[in-house]
Every structure is written in C-alpha cells, then in structure tokens.
Chain A
C-alpha cells in the first residue's frame, strides 16, 4: 500500500465522521439574504413606530408600550401598530425560511447529502427547542403588553438556538450565537433601542456571518 492510499483511507474516515454527524449543506448565501430581509423589515418597522418628526422635533413613538397599572394590556396586542409589526416580522421570517430552504436544498443536492436526513433532523430539533420556547414566551409577554422584551428575548433565544445547533453543523455558528446572546443582553440593559439591536443582530450579523460561511464553504 502506498502513501496515497493510506491518506485516502484517512480522508474517507474523516469525511464519514463529519458527514454522519454534521449537516454541512447549510447555505451561507441564505444567511446574507436573511440579513437583508431583516434590515428591510427593521426599516419598515421604524417607519411605523416612529412618527416622522421635523428637523428640530422630538421623536415620538406610537406604541402604548407601558403596562402602567400592572394589569394585562390586551388592547396593545391588538392595536393596529402592533399587528402591523407582527405582520412584518412574520413576512421576514417566512422569506428567510423559504430562501434558506431553497438555497440549502440546492447545496445539499450538490454535496449528495439528504435534505431530510438524520443530520438535518437533529439540527432542526436542537434549534426548535429554544426557538419554540422563546417564541411562545415572547407571544405571551406581548399579549400582556410587555413589548420591551421582544427584541432582547428574540436575540437571546435565537442565540441559544444557534449555540446548541453548532454541534450539528459548521462550528462557526457558535460564535454567531454568542454574539446574538450578547446583543440580546445589551438590548435588555438599554431599553428603547430594541429595534436598533434587532437590526444589528438579525440584519448586520447575518450578512457578516453569511458571507463568511459563503466564502469558507459555499465555493
């Protein structure tokens, strides 16, 4: 047996170990696209929340965002402004998921990896646990009028999902997750800047990490 053949043997072992435990077909480009959708969504939300002010005017926002008497503020959940914001959020989420699905399935086909295989199922499940928990918690809190938790909680729970998912795909995702968690905590400390942090976390970071993954693995 020559050296080449030995190397080939080792390579085949390595590939199998990686392929059997990690979903490596995740598309970096879809991260970039998700970031762009998120920035567009954040811009639309900004236009809705903040009334246009004159050059010297104060910025004024129109969401009844405080729960003054400590009672559930159900009507704020149903106010047209909040409903519009939820609509934007759902549109951004759906566009991101659909783009990710299309681009990732193309990449999976190229890699010969099953889109709905053991690795992708494990990946989805590990992400779904923190995401569904966070999502339900946030919806309940919105319905009680605590709108201030939306941005920090979205970022923190999404970050947790990424950190746990990183075991089943590219390890780089772990650092993206840690950044999202840090942003979420900072957003909680600085109330009133939620939308800004949301735009950085879901927009800018996705574009940065998406292009990083794209240059590293997609080509």
Chain B
C-alpha cells in the first residue's frame, strides 16, 4: 500500500480562515466551435465558515459554472478560487481528489446513489477512498445513516427506496468524511413539496449541528427562506447579494433581485 502522507502547507494569512470559500475575479470562458462563451465575467464572493448560502440565477446565467468552481469541479480561466484558503488551480489530481474526498461533500439533484450498492455501502465508499478500514467505515456509516433517520434501511438498495430516502442516503454520504463544505445542486429539484421540506430541514439542522458550510444552487423558495445569504448571478456576474433579513418573503413568492417574481 502506497500512502503519500506528505502535507503541503498552502496557506494564506490566518486571519482569513473564517472564509471557507473565496473567489477573486473569477472568469470562465468556453469555446463552442468558433464562438467564445463567457460563462463568468469576473465574480468575487467570500463565503464564511458555517454559512448557509443559496446561489440563484436563471439558466445560462453562469450559476452552475460558479457552483462547479466553488466545488472544485471546474477550474477558472482566470482569477482565483480558494477553498479553505487553498488555491485550487495549484492542485494536482491527487490533491484535488483528496480535497473532494475530505473537504467537500456533494449532493445532486438526481441523488446519484451507486445503484448496485446498499445504503450502507454507498456511505462507506468515500470512507474507503479516505483509507478507513472496512469495519471502522461500517460503524461510522451506520451512525450517520441513523442520524438521517435511515437506521432501518442500511441494507436497502436505492431502487428499493423513495426519492426522499435516496436523497437522505446522499446527504449521509456527503457527510461521510466530515467535510467543511457541502455542495448541493438543486437538492430538492426531484422531490415533492413535503419531502423537499424535510430535506431542507435536515440540511439546516446538520449545518447548525456540525458547523459545516452549505452552498446550494436552487430555485426552491423553501431553500431560500432558510439561507443566510443569497447570491444572485446574472449574465456571468454577481447581480446582488441578499441577507435573509433583507428578503421580502411574501406568501408563496419571493421578490428577488431586479424585482422579478419567482414561482
């Protein structure tokens, strides 16, 4: 077994560690045939440790691109992205994999549970990648699944579970290695109203309980209502950052940035 345990100190000033994620003038350009598409045109945001953030914006606004940047799933064409004060552009594939394994937990709209594995095995997988022994991983995974109220479904395959249960398995899996950041991409997009509400409550509780930063791309009003801040993206730039206190939550609708009504 090859274990490379050499740690590479990559630090910024310690006074900045209250931020889990910082982007500085991030630009992202794609080539589509001969055409250049500017998905992001210079985005600077700082996200505090333990914050619950929603990223909003119409499709094509660059929202997903920014979201992928923050999650270390995409690299900027120019500008800097710091996750826990580490410039992700400097990382090689081993370090990036370590980052994804230990620092970031991913939750997807389509759940993405490995279909042939049981709930328990799915939650164990990131722990195995982190090098945990099988029995250690088993105990830890069972405990996390119990925390998301799936203690009775450890041995079930995803196809034997409802959407809400699958998403809870995914949440348990995202928390497997005690990450600093949870990235949730439309986590309630494939769920009905009530199930979605329960998932949001669960995320909010875990956010408080573990002090983990939660960043989600969403259109869900219920999600916006529990967010500490909402970052609005439009045409590849930050349109507006709202604090929860500034949100005018009316019945069923939220008056968003630029006054457009969201349904």
B is a partner of A: no
- Taking Cβ atoms with an 8 Å cutoff, the residues of A that contact B are none
